[in-house]
Amino acid sequence: MKKKITIAVDGHSSCGKSTMAKDLARAIGYIYVDSGAMYRCCTLFAMQNGIIAADGSINEEEFKRRMPEIQVSFKLNEDTGRPDTYLNGVCVEKDIRTMEVSAHVSPVAALPFVRAAMTAQQQAMGREGGIVMDGRDIGTAVFPDAEMKVFVTASDEIRAQRRYDELVAKGQQADFDEVLSNLRERDRIDSTREVAPLRQADDAIVLDNSHMTIPEQNQWLLKQFHKKTE
Ligand code: CDP
């Protein structure tokens, strides 16, 4: 049997990484892990436990103390065929995708003790290979030795439109300008933080999918996978 490799898919906010990564994992029989969902879970936990105040300030000491209580897991949803995210055994797939969580997630993900805890969980999940993980620092910090690294981007407006359409399709309140400014702000914080900032790994293959359909980007990714493994 062929050795299963590790695949890192990084890139800017709302560029369709998760869709690509999930579809690839399903097509090749690998495990898919959404690392962003893990940072979203930490944010939801902090919001639910009074660690983040209404003005966005974070009680770091309390957060650090309670970090060991945060356990994130993924379980396949038989209806959607995709994994749902669980925070301490409770399905939070919907709750972590709100604009409120999006508004607080980047400052949370910039905290070194949050990154250390999530990175350790991610590395444990990928120990055996056969994994597709998407995020910001997978090819640079979590799996620097990944055999295949992809860096995805698209124009700001196109990314905002995709995220806006996704929120509307889920029946959530959405305002295009708010979505656009949130993704620009997250990209700014994610790229300038001190620990594991968002950047393209030197050995990543770059994809700008601004003008690609979902089937086109899936085909592109599958082709890259075959190139790497054949
Ligand atoms: O879906 P979208 O691309 O908008 O975001 P996400 O993948 O759910 O990630 C949410 C946030 O988590 C990002 O804006 C980052 O602040 C953080 N994140 C991170 O710091 N490192 C990762 N490996 C993944 C996400």
pLDDT at 93: 96
Q: How far is the CA of 156 from the centre of ligand 1 (A)?
A: 16
- Locate the domains of the chain by residue range: 6-229
Asked if residue 54 has pLDDT above 90, the reply is no
Instruction: Please indicate whether residue 107, judged by its CB atom, sits closer than 6 Å to ligand 1.
Output: no
Sequence-distant (≥ 6) Cβ neighbours of residue 147 within 8 angstroms: 5, 6, 7, 228
- pTM equals 0.94
Taking CA atoms only, the protein residue closest to ligand 1 atom 25 is 36
pLDDT at 80: 85
Average pLDDT taken over every residue of the chain: 95
81-95 confidence digits (pLDDT tens): 889 999 999 999 999
Asked if residue 39 has pLDDT above 80, the reply is yes
Beta carbons of 224 and 205 less than 8 angstroms apart: yes
Q: Does domain 6-229 have CATH number 3.30.420.340?
A: no
Mean pLDDT, residues 18-29: 94
Instruction: Please indicate whether residue 143, judged by its CB atom, sits closer than 6 Å to ligand 1.
Output: no
Asked if residue 1 has pLDDT above 80, the reply is no
Tell me the best of 32, 58, 136, 153 to mutate to test the pocket of ligand 1, counting ligand atoms within 8 Å of each CB and taking the most. Answer: 136
Nearest Cα neighbor of 186 from 165, 208, 159, 158 is 159
Nearest Cα neighbor of 108 from 187, 46, 37, 177 is 46
124-164 confidence digits (pLDDT tens): 999 999 999 999 999 999 999 999 999 999 999 999 999 99
Instruction: Please indicate whether residue 14, judged by its CB atom, sits closer than 6 Å to ligand 1.
Output: yes
